[in-house]
Amino acid sequence: MHGIDLDWEYPGRGGAICNTVSPNDSANYLVLLRELRAQMDLEFPNDRKLLTAAVRVQPFDGADGKPMANVAAFAMNTQNPISMYVNKTNVTPKGGPGDRNEINYFCNEGAVYSGMWKWKEIRGAILTGGVTSPAPGWTRYWDDATQTPWLYGTAANTFISYDDVQSMTIKVNYAKNAGLRGVMLWDMSYDYNNELINVLQNIHCTSNCPVVTTVPTPTATATTSVPVTTTTSSGPVTTTTTPVGKCTGIAAWNSATIYATAGAKVTYSGHLFTNAWWTQNETPVIGDTSGVWKDG
């Protein structure tokens, strides 16, 4: 066990309006956190476990119903909680075909949408030509920073971010190279013909592995014009000359090359380097043995 994560959204607020709320919610939550921290430290004295929690952008509400002025005590008992959920608007657009708009949903709060698209809905309604081939009116793009795809639909001016076979393969490979014991997803029932499940099952598979859908090199599949501004870099691509000796036959490091798998060897300034994880455009440092590129 690595720790405990608490997902109370949020003390002092009801979430669904039928939930019971107490002015003592935040104070009681702190008591719970302190007790968990004490018991975890007692049970694992030599291996401090994580205690994390979902938090709002604002502090939790105090007894007066207003955001607390000081929440330092919460951070002292957890692992410095990070704001993960932000309400951007009170109007959530409809997501995929199965997204519901029920008047009595969430204790009669009113008609609501989640705005979510399931993978099987994306495949059935948008990526009708394959995992990277959208229907007319949609364009698939690839974000190099997050290594994930996104879709833009011109008809409804719709943006959809998601994971697919390609991005999940990258994540599974990262987990394997980092020595992680597993990965998870939510929700298995949203898959399409086991395309995503097969990717995850390969994390520990060594023989008779599930067949993973082949995905070509990421490109934007343009089916219509999209009002998106893109920029390209005209900077030089850095390479080095391959030295002789133990580095003979090893390619020189290239700033434009993606080294996706740990253990890749390159040469740089007469030294042999091996990468520890996925990297691109990170210059090897001579003498470094703890960074992405290990010298020697």
Least confident of 156-165, 192-201, 231-240: 231-240
For 36-73, the pLDDT digits (tens) are 999 999 999 888 888 888 777 678 888 998 888 777 77
Residue 288 has pLDDT above 70, yes or no: yes
Instruction: Report the distance separating Cα 179 and Cα 93, nearest Å.
Output: 39
pLDDT at residue 216, rounded to an integer = 52
Instruction: Enter the pTM of the model.
Output: 0.47
pLDDT at residue 111, rounded to an integer = 55
- Residue 93, both tokens: 């657009």
Residue 247 has pLDDT above 80, yes or no: no
Point out which residues pair with 83 in neighbouring strands.
55
Most confident listed range (81-90, 237-246, 254-263): 254-263
Q: Which helix (H) or strand (E) element contains residue 272? A: strand 271-275
Going from the N-terminus, what domains does the chain have, and what CATH number goes with each? 3-77 (no CATH), 118-225 (no CATH), 245-295 (2.10.10.20)
Helices (H) and strands (E) counted in the chain, each on its own, are: 6, 10
Residue 261 has pLDDT above 60, yes or no: yes
pLDDT at residue 94, rounded to an integer = 80
pLDDT at residue 141, rounded to an integer = 93
Pairing of strands 138-143, 258-259: unpaired
For 7-41, the pLDDT digits (tens) are 888 888 876 667 788 999 999 999 999 999 999 99
Instruction: Report the distance separating Cα 178 and Cα 180, nearest Å.
Output: 6
Residue 208 has pLDDT above 70, yes or no: no
Instruction: Report the distance separating Cα 181 and Cα 173, nearest Å.
Output: 12
Q: Determine the average pLDDT of the residues in 200-228.
A: 54
